[in-house]
Amino acid sequence: MTNANSQHAAVDVAIIGAGPSGAVAAALLRKAGHSVLVLERQHFPRFSIGESLLPQSMAYLEEADMLQAVVEAGFQYKNGAHFVHGGKTASYDFRDKHSKGWGTTYQVERAKFDDILIRRAAEQGADVRFGHAVNAIQTGEAPQLEVADEAGNTYTVRARFVLDASGFGRVLPRLLELETPTRMPTRAAIFTHVRDGLPAGSTDRNKICIAVHPERRDVWYWMIPLADGRSSVGCVAEASFFDVTETEREAKLRELIRVEPTLCELIGDAPFLMPVRHIGGYSANVERLYGPGYALLGNAGEFLDPVFSSGVTIALRSAHLAVETLKRQLRGEAVDWLADYDRPLRRGIDTFRAFVDRWYTGELQDIIFYPHQTPTIRRMISAVLAGYAWDETNPYVADPVRRLNSLHEACKAM
């Protein structure tokens, strides 16, 4: 891995961003024999949110020859999700699901996790340059990037194709004015890490805990047990709910923890290990996930909401689909980015969106906490929560809106 001196470069594929989608795309392209340059504005390791992976993502890590490195890193094992609302609880074990494939995964410190992935991509031959920012792009059959390093040196990268994996930085949507209004309300999150000190058996560390605010169903919390006795804890709500100053965030989060009985018992006054952070306006969308000479991966294209931890899974799925399409294009085959990449990726995103929308209206909460769940339907819901949002053998993937609406009506009627 290099911090190369500024110089003109010519590669098969330039990738903007070294996060999970960029790292996996780089590794898959290197396996296919293509030259790859990854340009990352920051230096790794660096903090990132999105710490609870979904089992579906494991297949893509395995495909990119990254799984062993992740397994050996010592992250917290994860096998499901635990939901809490007042006195109601519901747990889903992702090993008990409709879809075939992985049923377990990890809860990770993203600084360490992302660093592992991009280092594996570099070991496989990707040229990775940290501290290099893309300032302009010329699109077309032979796209060119204008890049600047931290010393102010600029250079041009000529590529046969560009993948934007810049995440919330959304480099190409910003440079090319691609963004369109998102259909998701403007929400925000405040969060930190705590030294939880949880006694053995007090909670299932193998599951993410999602708790609903006792008075507002559109406000929810996460508690993600991490390795070494720490947990990530945060709260998500409409942006105005967190209308406090930076210095008031710690007190706001502490107050929110105290009013939710489960988190109050598990975390209480446990010390925060870092300043309380805030992220807002994260939901984003574009009209198309591709253009002349480029495609958008993961959060650079669309981000929904953190409630079901779908971000990394969508990012890795996008890397897989884009590389499969791009490999054929680089071989000289005719490809249709709309049919081969955009629409297939959005089908799973739309499945997640149907679940996210109904979480905030309360309908999905009614389903999750319903006490008399049918095992077959429960396994179908579990599969989507485990990330298998592209498995159309699952009725709740093939027709999520109608199926969820019908299921909610059934729950109300009984």
> What confidence tier does 395 reach under pLDDT thresholds 50, 70, 90?
very high
The secondary structure of residue 10, as a DSSP letter, is E
pLDDT at 276: 95
**Quick one: pLDDT at residue 168?**
84
How would you class 270 by CB atoms within 10 Å of its CB: exposed for 0-12, middle for 13-18, buried for 19 or more?
middle
Does some domain include residue 81? Answer: no
Task: Give residue 120's domain range.
Answer: 8-76+104-181+284-348
Q: Using 50, 70 and 90 to split pLDDT, how confident is the model at 18?
A: very high
Is 354 a domain residue?
no
- Residue 233, token pair as written in the block: 């804890």
> CA–CA separation, 221 vs 238, rounded Å?
13
Q: What does the pLDDT read at residue 3?
A: 47
- The CATH number of residue 205's host domain is 3.30.9.100
Pick the range with the lowest mean pLDDT from 66-70, 132-136, 280-284, 379-383. 280-284
- Counting Cα atoms < 13 Å in the Cβ hemisphere of 307 gives 27
Q: Of 292, 318, 348, which closes a domain? A: 348
Looking up tokens 């293509």 gives 34
Q: What is the pLDDT of residues 30-40, one digit of tens each?
A: 999 999 999 99
Predicted local distance difference test score (pLDDT) of residue 269: 87
Q: What is the mean pLDDT of the chain?
A: 92
pLDDT at position 104 is 98
CB 303 within 8 A of CB 282: yes
| CA distance readout (Å), 397 to 80, 227, 247, 255, 347 | 19, 33, 43, 38, 8
Least confident of 14-28, 214-228, 299-313, 344-358: 299-313
At 306, is the pLDDT very low, low, confident or very high (cuts 50, 70, 90)? confident
- φ, ψ of residue 85 in degrees (nearest 5): -145, 105
| CATH code (residue 326) | 3.50.50.60
What integer is the mean pLDDT of 101-106? 98
State the average pLDDT over residues 177-185: 75
Question: What is the number of structural domains in the chain?
Answer: 3
Residues 27 and 122 in one domain: yes
Residue type at position 146: E
Listed range (56-60, 264-268, 317-321, 326-330) with the worst mean pLDDT: 264-268
Let me know: does 341 contact 56? Beta carbons within 8 Å: no
Listing DSSP states for 70-109 in one string gives HHTTTPEEE-EEEEEETTEEEEEETTS-SS-S---EEE--
Q: Are residues 340 and 368 in the same domain?
A: no
Mean pLDDT of 22-45: 97
pLDDT digit string, tens, across residues 65-74: 999 999 999 9
Q: Are 91 and 204 in contact (CB under 8 A)?
A: yes
Q: If we measure between CA atoms, which residue out of 141, 114, 118 comes closest to residue 128?
A: 118
Last residue of a domain, one of 280, 295, 315: 280
Task: Give yes or no for residue 292 having a pLDDT over 70.
Answer: yes
> Do 211 and 320 have their domain in common?
no
User: Is the pLDDT confidence value at 403 over 90?
Assistant: yes
Q: What pLDDT, on the 0 to 100 scale, is given for residue 321?
A: 98
Q: Structure tokens of 80?
A: 């499901």
CB-CB contact of 215 with 222 (8 Å): no
pLDDT reading at 6 higher than 60: no
Average confidence (pLDDT) over 311-322: 96
pLDDT tens-digit readout, 318-344: 999 999 999 999 999 999 999 999 999
Query: Tell me, what DSSP letter sits at residue 253?
Result: H
Name the domain boundary from 280, 306, 336: 280
How confident is the model over 285-302, as a mean pLDDT?
88
CA distance 385 to 27: 27
